[in-house]
Amino acid sequence: MSDDTGEAPIQTGDATGVLSIDAMGGDLGPEAVIAGLARAIKKTPAMRFIVHGDKPVIEALIAKRRGLSDHCTVRHASGVVTMTDKPSQVMRTGKDTSMWSAVDSVRSGEATVCVSCGNTGALMAVSMLRLRKLPGINRPAIAILWPSRNPSGFNVMLDVGADVRADADDLLQYALMGMSYARNGLGLTRPRVGLLNVGTEENKGRTELREAHDRIETVAAEADFDFVGFVEGGDIPGDRVDVIVTDGFTGNVALKTGEGTARFVRDMLGEAFRATILSKFAAVLAMTSLKRLAARIDPRRVNGGVFLGLNGTVVKSHGSADETGVAAAVGLAWDLSKSGFSDRLKTRVAAVTASVEGQE
């Protein structure tokens, strides 16, 4: 399990398939994280983890899960980044935290992807400090999978909160990174990319949006994706595009609105089916369909925002994620690790950036 317990540590000469886990950052504590790891290996037994946090606590939790110790190396970190900690404070004093340690395992090459349920701002700050931005990237972005009508069941949306600002160059970079994520995360050979706006006409929106529209359109053919132009809010869960590009302010508002709407629909359906004897009987008859709907709109099944634009991959799980949500984030991290996503993204951004610079 860990280096000084007599168990053999994970061999990290080939880090592919090794995930670095911050066990201490979530609202539900390390119990939910370790339970999520146990659930994840039931589906994918090949997973291996470096788990960061309070060593005695983590080892005790791992020991309660049959077979999990064979998949884990525990790395002690005495500190914890709380949800109220300021990113600037963590950057100054957070070297002994589980979050910092988890990101450092990706930096050192021991692991390919870091997963944390912790403070989003602090995680982005630590990730930028330790991993650094890819050459040519001005602002990293957070990308999520949004349930949609597409055959894959999802659309990629970015940025959803890494930075509230984004100029035309940033939006172009988001388009390139989102396209690469769609290729590797959804298996799409030629993703369709749309730029979120208040209308689909080319003269609509702020100046930076119109400039970004022209720049994305210019590189689309060479970067091997289809640019459909401006899209509206109603297209986010639709099948018109595969990637929705926007600034972090707009994206975060849309994300929180979508999550709140999903909870509202679930609660209202529950109230409606409990209202009368007949509606309760109807609920029994519709139980299979209701379960299918609940699963489709359950935010836990798509839990995990990916930090794009860094020299390494970081997956941000929702802070309140339970074991189902943690397992989903870990599963996403595994898929990205096995696809060699970080190296593919780096190559794609470098190639297109060089091409754009050559045209200027």
Interval 213-232: pLDDT, tens: 999 999 898 888 999 999 99
Query: Domain for residue 347, yes or no?
Result: no
Which has more pLDDT, 150 or 4?
A: 150
Query: Domain for residue 285, yes or no?
Result: no
Which has more pLDDT, 358 or 114?
A: 114
Read off the pLDDT band of 8 (50, 70, 90).
very low
Q: What is the mean pLDDT of residues 24-38?
A: 92
- Distance between CA 136 and CA 127 in Å, rounded? 17
pLDDT at 2: 41
**R_g of the chain computed on alpha carbons:** 21
Q: What is the mean pLDDT of residues 92-105?
A: 94
- For residue 2, the domain's CATH number is 3.40.718.10
Per the structure, the count of domains in the chain is 1
pLDDT at 295: 65
pLDDT at 161: 86
- The answer for residues whose C-beta is within 8 angstroms of residue 249's C-beta and 6 or more apart is 164, 165
Q: What is the mean pLDDT of residues 279-286?
A: 78
Read off the pLDDT band of 7 (50, 70, 90).
very low
pLDDT at 226: 94
Q: What is the mean pLDDT of residues 165-188?
A: 89
Query: Domain for residue 277, yes or no?
Result: no
Query: Domain for residue 248, yes or no?
Result: no
pLDDT at 13: 45
Alpha-carbon torsion, ordered 199, 243, 352, 135, to 10 deg: 110
Read off the pLDDT band of 4 (50, 70, 90).
very low
pLDDT at 9: 39
pLDDT at 108: 93
Residue 328, domain extent:
1-137+309-337
Judged by phi (left if over 0) then psi (alpha if -120 to 50, else beta), residue 29 lies in: left
Query: Domain for residue 300, yes or no?
Result: no
Question: What is the distance of C-alpha 51 from the center of its chain?
Answer: 19
Which has more pLDDT, 136 or 316?
A: 316
Q: Between β-strands 305-308 and 141-147, what pairing exists: parallel, antiparallel or unpaired?
A: antiparallel
Read off the pLDDT band of 186 (50, 70, 90).
confident
pLDDT at residue 292 tops 80: no
Candidate ranges 42-46, 148-152, 266-270, 279-283; pick with highest mean pLDDT: 42-46
pLDDT at 348: 73
- Distance between CA 335 and CA 313 in Å, rounded? 12
Dump pLDDT digits (tens) for 249-265: 999 898 888 878 877 88
**In this predicted structure, which of 47-56, 96-105, 305-314 has the lowest mean pLDDT?**
305-314
Mean pLDDT of the chain: 86
Of 158, 155, 157, 186, which is closest to residue 170 (Cα–Cα)?
158
**In this predicted structure, which of 13-17, 82-86, 288-292, 335-339 has the lowest mean pLDDT?**
13-17
- The answer for residues whose C-beta is within 8 angstroms of residue 319's C-beta and 6 or more apart is 25, 26, 27, 83, 117, 118, 119, 120
Query: Domain for residue 75, yes or no?
Result: yes
Query: Domain for residue 320, yes or no?
Result: yes
Q: What is the mean pLDDT of residues 268-295?
A: 77
pLDDT at 302: 63
Query: Domain for residue 313, yes or no?
Result: yes
Q: What is the mean pLDDT of residues 347-352?
A: 72
Read off the pLDDT band of 163 (50, 70, 90).
confident
pTM for this model (two decimals): 0.81
- Distance between CA 44 and CA 40 in Å, rounded? 6
